[in-house]
Amino acid sequence: MQVVKYVFQPHGDERGQLIALEEFVDIPFKIKRVYYMYDTAQGVVRGKHAHKCLKQILVCIHGSCKVLLDDGKEKKVVLLERPYEGVYVANNMWREMYDFSSDAVLVVFASELYDEADYIRDYDEFLNFIKDIDQ
Ligand code: T46
């Protein structure tokens, strides 16, 4: 499994840093939704699901967290700890976010609007779903 990490180019000057993210330039899809999570309680594991269609880029703009990516065959863990780094989470990919620092702010750029029907929340169902696609 290939993990696609993005390193965004800051527009830095003596005042500090600024990062601009544009759809189809920095983010490889049309951005239909942006959401973020913060004040995440210690020890919490978020996610634990896959998406049938949704593609996303996760950026921990403050603090740090880990993202587990699982394509059903292989698992990889990505540490997000820089505001200029992002990780691409494709559809048909199980994801879990954990080890949030108390100051973590995780921003997500999403290719689709919120749709509960796009979620696969059961791991066995996920494995069956991707098995059907592979055939
Ligand atoms: C994902 C990972 C990375 C909404 O009403 N609209 C939204 O756009 C989202 C994302 C969530 N919600 C509601 C649904 C739940 O009542 O917010 C609540 C928490 O959502 P959820 O438990 O799905 O959050 P996570 O952190 O487990 O997962 C989220 C995204 O839902 C998911 O698509 O890939 O972050």
Instruction: Tell me if the pTM is above 0.75.
Output: yes
Domain with 96, as residue range(s), is 5-9+18-134
pLDDT of 135 higher than 70: no
Average pLDDT of the chain, as a whole number: 97
For residue range 26-51, list pLDDT tens digits in order. Answer: 999 999 999 999 999 999 999 999 99
CA of 35 to the centre of ligand 1 (A): 8
Q: Which atom of ligand 1 is nearest to the CA of 56?
A: 34
What residues form DSSP beta bridges with 82?
none
* Rounded mean pLDDT, 61-81: 98
CA of 11 to the centre of ligand 1 (A): 30
Q: How far apart are CA 109 and CA 99, in angstroms?
A: 20
Among 33, 46, 93, which residue has the most ligand 1 atoms within 8 Å of its CB, making it the best to mutate?
46
For residue range 85-116, list pLDDT tens digits in order. Answer: 999 999 999 999 999 999 999 999 999 999 99
CATH number at residue 89: 2.60.120.10
pLDDT of residue 109: 98
Q: How far apart are CA 27 and CA 31, in angstroms?
A: 8
Q: Which residues form the pocket of ligand 1, taking CB atoms under 6 Å from any ligand atom? A: 33, 35, 37, 46-47, 56, 95, 97, 108, 114
Total count of domains within the chain: 1
**Residue 49 annotated as catalytic:** yes
